[in-house]
Copies of this chain bind each other. A is one copy, B any other.
């Protein structure tokens, strides 16, 4: 068994490159406090690639990631997949408008999640909801908007650069990306193929911008170059 990496997404650092996002940081909780989301059961474990809930399934509960990484995605009839978002420890997923989930959720790697109760926020339970919940929903909206821009108007190398910046963690030895996901996941998140992901990473390595220390760990040698690709 290999050493377990604590995957995370260091928002404040990684987003330095996104001037337009800077003001979000101070706005509200991306990760709402526990007390407004009562747990609906014990912590659940899911092995890698296990389905947590399916698109169309009744959305009685939603979840908070305890450890590991979760992806939410949609499938087309011919098998094409679009990954909408990745969620790391502390983040909440599956909280949706309707009675059914719009996307499915799967474990990217072995992970643990805690189910949260939807009931207190259903239409039966009052006219108002906690402010934090609104901030949370709107943060999700903003994230989805960013993703749309990424998917619509960026080249492969710009997409990959954005992805690396999203996951870069600062260390004493520089910025490092520990990948919980496969090339396939990255491809379906960025709207590319695994071959293009691989070629683009190799290209960035040849250009001395990154270094592929292992297949799941990337060292960022020139973060400025990556940031310059974002505009």
Contact = CB atoms under 8 A, between A and B. Distances in A.
Interface stretch (A5-13, A41-49, A92-100): A92-100
Interface residues of A, number: 53
Interface in A54-100: 55-56, 74, 76-78, 80-82, 84, 95-100
A88 to B, nearest CB: 19
Given A153-B76, A191-B152, A102 B147 contact: no
Contacts of A78: 231
Contacts of A135: 97
Interface stretch (A124-132, A165-173, A211-219): A124-132
Contact of A148 (B138, B139, B151): B151
Contacts of A32: none
A96 B139 CA distance: 9
A103 B77 CA distance: 33
A40 interface: no
Interface of A: 20-21, 23-24, 27-28, 55-56, 74, 76-78, 80-82, 84, 95-100, 102-103, 121, 123, 126-131, 133-135, 137-142, 144-145, 147-149, 151-153, 188, 190-191, 231
The 5 closest A-B pairs by CB, nearest first: A152-B191, A144-B144, A128-B128, A151-B151, A77-B231
